[in-house]
Amino acid sequence: MSGKISEYSALLRAKKISSVELTKAYLDEIEKSDKKYNAFVSIDAERALKAAAAADEAIKRGEGGLLTGIPYGVKNNIAEKGVVTDCCSRILNGYRPTYNAAVIEKLNAEYAVPLGKNNMDEFAMGSSTETSVYGATFNPVNTAYVPGGSSGGGAAAVRAGMAAFALGSDTGGSVRQPAAFTGIVGLKPTYGAVSRYGLIAYGSSLDQIGPLTTSVRDAAIVYDAVRGADKRDMTSSPLSRTASDKLTGDVKKLRIGYPKEYFEGIDPEVKQIVESAFSFYRKAGAEIKEVSVPVLKSALPAYYIIACAEASSNLGRYDGIRYGYRATDYDDVNEMIMKTRSEGFGKEVKRRIMLGTYVLSAGYFDAYYKQALRVRESVSEAMRALFDSVDVLLTPVAPTTAFPLNYTAENMIETYMSDFCTVPVNIAGLPAVSLPAGNASSNLPVGMQLIGARFTEDVVLNAAYAFETEHPVNIDMGVRI
Amino acid sequence: MSGYLFVAGLETHVELQTKSKIFCACSTGFGAEPNTHCCPVCTGEPGSLPVINREVLAYAVRAGLATNCAISEITKMDRKNYVYPDLPKAYQISQFEAPVAVGGYITLDSGKKIRINHIHMEEDAGKLVHENGYTYVDYNRGGVPLIEIVSEPDIASVEEAREYVEKLQLIMRHIGVSDCKMQEGSMRCDVNISVHREGEPLGTRAEIKNMNSLSFMEKALSYEYRRQCELLDNGERVVQETRRYNENTQTTESMRNKEDAQDYRYFPEPDILAIRVGKEFVKKIAESLPKLPDELRKEFAGYGLSETEVKRLVEYKRIADFYSEAAALSEPKIAANLILGEIFRGMQTEEEKERFELKFDVKAFAKLVNLRAENKINAGIQKKVLQKMLESGGAPEDYLSADDLAEVDTGAIDKLCAEAIKSNERAVRDYLGGKEQALKALLGFVMKATRGKADSAAVEAKLKELICK
């Protein structure tokens, strides 16, 4: 077996286990372990068991797919009808969407089993899952460290065997970086491959939903289930292709780029571990090419300007009028809105709203926002050109292993800077997978990133699959049944 | 205060009559229970996304073509950020950088062209309802499609402003994109106005917001022109600001000045990709455009109708269409008289004229006009038949007996006239004595004898001829 979904799916189809048993085992594990990790902010056991029973019925009827009966976690910014989806922010306190996100509809149609909502940085703004109103999530590998973010709750849940997979969202690395910090697999699909309908927006032109899984094959399975054009999302595309049926492990003649800018300013141990992956690929018959993308250095500031600009607009709607938190003491509607927002948003969210408002203001727009769009265009163009000569790029996911707890709050700028390996992919709308490359001497996992041209998830995942097959992570992330 | 030139530019919001809203499938219907025409998209629920309604684009292109604009090959949506409780996303999706139509004009009766800078598409906001000390929000109107037609500052008088708005109204109604009812809010105007002396640069402008009737607009502009002239005459300055018209005091008053002006922080709407407006798409719309009011006016004036008659016939699209067709099939003068006379008499309200519901078709109407034009029936019979057609529909022949249609022999009429004169000596005397009325008795005699078929005008002429001989 090459992953938890593949493994359980085979057992479920062979009727060796039932989804109800499997779901109970996961619920028990959450009950037992999540006090230590705080990966889930809500669990609905009744709903999960009902969904599991329905999945068992579907299997009996010979219906469903690979995800039928498989328990999973959902990032707290993906809308589920009637389930509190508050982005781990006080301002959305008690908000229950009146509709399901497109990805949830797809998973429901497959009879997958939702366990509950995973913790995250408030509004997906952060790299450590410490800015949540529900408190920090702790890294199951070592609880003195953060699991990364913003999808840290989902990554921790998968790593600790509390969910077979989790849905995260990635605006500047929020799926890939937590996957790297917890030693699992995370896929950020091409912009437009997966519908954003029902994903509560942070940076609309950058956000994508992606899976967190214990294996590359599982990432491909979940990706295949949630991808596809959606008429409710005008930015979604019909060009995506299936990936799970393309995992041959054959990388002969694959052209892999070594972009040297990605290896500057990287912790020496992380650098050495990621670089050693190149020797594996060379031996496996791939072609390694050193490439250079000087403009990448500008991607990080451009990313923060664009993401914050969009966020300042996207988060304007949280005014206390229709849903969520409302301040109690006010004289008129303007004061109500001001107090609600002052009390409802956390510090990091306010910082980004202010930054975004500033860069869009009259007099600054051209110097910041317009300039950032130009940089975005040149990064995208440079990447497009690069993929004429290579099939994938191999890079680190982050310059270091997981941060210690409370590091981020005191080292804001360093934390922003640490996103430089992941944000170019969002800026250019490309697919990228993060997978375990090895462990540092601290025993913390080190991730590596494979980046491809638009809609080549199959190529990227196959390259990852080849590496994973030869470098299995021998840790049981499953539940005992 | 004399000697100042009046300069104004208008921003006109027109609500489009599409069935569904601009970014979702909710109904645009007016007057429903509050918050029943709503979904996650038009209430801006977190995670919802807008999808542009192609019909709105088609309507906007239609409006652009009808006002002589060029249609943009690529048009983009932008976000206009501001906070107000009736705006659920805290931004309005509008257009800033690449509006759907640019560079058109409207021609006034004087021949002067008022240039149109551009037309852009946007969504309407919801509505606040104040009741019992509470404020309620109704989002039914949120997401109803609007176009904003932005003119250049080419308007030089209150009268031109009124004519410009009336022309726009008429065009939008004729092309079927909006009913443009200012009272109901489906058309609203903001006016930028300034004054200056000839040869001097343009003055500082004030913007007057949200005028919801033509007469208010006229009053507001007259007042504002006077106000600005007086300020300058007294050596004071006009400040750049937004003002509103107060119906009670009939004056304009300051809402906010330039310093408090909103910074809308426009930026490209990331949820809606740039829209390519295909040449074929535009061509199809251009081909489907009806005759525009100016064209109809020219056509009707060519029939020898008076200016007032033309105006009344063009004012309502259905009437204009009906008349245009009827005139082509029959005698235009008679057709116009019947519509503006008999038919209008039964349609007192705006709505009735707008609907212009008739129980008969234009062919039946043309036939009736032609019977009269060819002198087969007289005016009286025509009127009676038209009344019956208005009441019960059908065609003229349904109400005309063979007798009504029987040819009236001119010789017979002449004989009857001579007979009438002979047997009514007294009436003839009276008539010759100056009593015009006396002739009616003779006319009545002939008409009775022909059972009303004779052409009364012809009979009258014959009688006069015979008496005076």
Distances (CA, A) of A81 to A53, A98, B11, B45: 20, 5, 42, 12
Which residues, in sequence order, are CB contacts of B111 under 8 Å at separation 6+? none
The per-residue pLDDT for range A340-374, each reduced to its tens digit, is 999 999 999 999 999 999 999 999 999 999 999 99
CA distance A4 to A477: 8
DSSP letter, residue B259: G
Check if A132 is active-site: no
CB contact under 8 A, B85 and A97: no
Q: Which candidate in A9, A18, A150, A195 is catalytic?
A: A150
DSSP letter, residue A199: B
Letter string b/e over residues B119-149, b meaning 16 or more CB atoms within 10 A of that residue's CB: bbbbbbbbeeeeeeeeeebbbbbbbbbbbbb
pLDDT of residue B407: 60
CA distance B336 to A477: 87
CA distance A236 to B12: 34
Q: Distance between terminal CA atoms of chain B?
A: 69
Which residues, in sequence order, are CB contacts of B297 under 8 Å at separation 6+? B310, B311, B314
CB contact under 8 A, A235 and B267: no
What is the residue extent of each domain of chain B?
A: 4-281, 291-405, 410-468
pLDDT of residue A1: 45
CB contact under 8 A, A197 and B48: yes
Rounded to an integer, the average pLDDT of B261-284 is 95
Q: Are A314 and A204 in contact (CB under 8 A)?
A: yes
Of the candidates B51, B89, B272, the beta carbon closest to that of A232 is on B51
Name residue B254's beta-bridge partners.
B243
Letter string b/e over residues B53-83, b meaning 16 or more CB atoms within 10 A of that residue's CB: beebbbbbbbbbbbbbbebbeebbbbbbbeb
Average confidence score pLDDT of chain B: 92
Check if A42 is active-site: no
Q: Which candidate in A18, A174, A236, A434 is catalytic?
A: A174
B186 pLDDT higher than 80: yes
CB neighbours (10 Å) of residue A353?
22
* Residues present in chain B in total: 469
CA distance A423 to A158: 24
Identify the CATH assignment for B410-468 out of 2.40.170.20, 1.10.10.410, 3.40.1010.20, 1.10.3720.10. 1.10.10.410
CA dihedral A47, A51, A57, A59 (to 10 degrees): -160
Assembly ipTM: 0.95
CB contact under 8 A, A87 and B46: yes
Chain B, 34 to 53: residues with Cβ < 8 Å from chain A are: 40, 43-52
CA distance A349 to A338: 15
pLDDT of residue B13: 97
The interaxial angle of helices B438-449 and B456-468, nearest 10 deg, is 120
Q: Are A75 and A153 in contact (CB under 8 A)?
A: yes
Q: CB burial class (10 A; 0-12, 13-18, 19+) of residue A50?
A: middle
CA distance B178 to A443: 69
pLDDT of residue B425: 83
**Cis check: omega of the bond before A42, within 30 degrees of 0:** no
Rounded to an integer, the average pLDDT of B263-280 is 97
Q: Which residue is closest to A206 within chain B, CA to CA?
A: B270
Check if A151 is active-site: no
The per-residue pLDDT for range B19-64, each reduced to its tens digit, is 999 999 999 998 899 999 999 999 999 999 999 999 999 999 999 9
CA distance A448 to B421: 119
Name residue B6's beta-bridge partners.
B195
Chain Cα centroid distance, residue A451: 15
Q: Which residues of chain A have pLDDT under 50?
A: 1
Stronger pLDDT, B177 or B456, i.e. the higher one: B177
Q: Are A205 and A312 in contact (CB under 8 A)?
A: no
From chain A, pick out residues whose CB is under 8 angstroms from the CB of B88.
317, 321-322
DSSP 3-state assignment of A114? strand
Among residues B217, B286, B393, which one has the least CA distance to residue B65? B286
Beta strands in B108-142 (DSSP E): 113-123, 127-131, 134-138
DSSP letter, residue B339: I
* Pairing outcome for strands B113-123 and B101-107: antiparallel
CA distance A177 to A400: 10
Best residue in B20, B26, B45 to probe A by mutation, most A CBs within 10 Å? B45
CA distance A425 to A427: 5
Q: Which domains does chain A have, with CATH numbers?
A: 1-481 (3.90.1300.10)
CB contact under 8 A, A313 and B43: no
DSSP 3-state assignment of A447? strand
CB contact under 8 A, B91 and A316: yes
B404 pLDDT higher than 50: yes
Q: Cα-flanking dihedrals φ and ψ of residue A349, to 5°?
A: -65, -45
From chain B, pick out residues whose CB is under 8 angstroms from the CB of A336.
none
Q: Which residue is closest to B88 within chain A, CA to CA?
A: A317
pLDDT of residue B432: 85
Rounded to an integer, the average pLDDT of B231-253 is 92
Whole-prediction pTM: 0.91
CB contact under 8 A, A231 and B51: yes
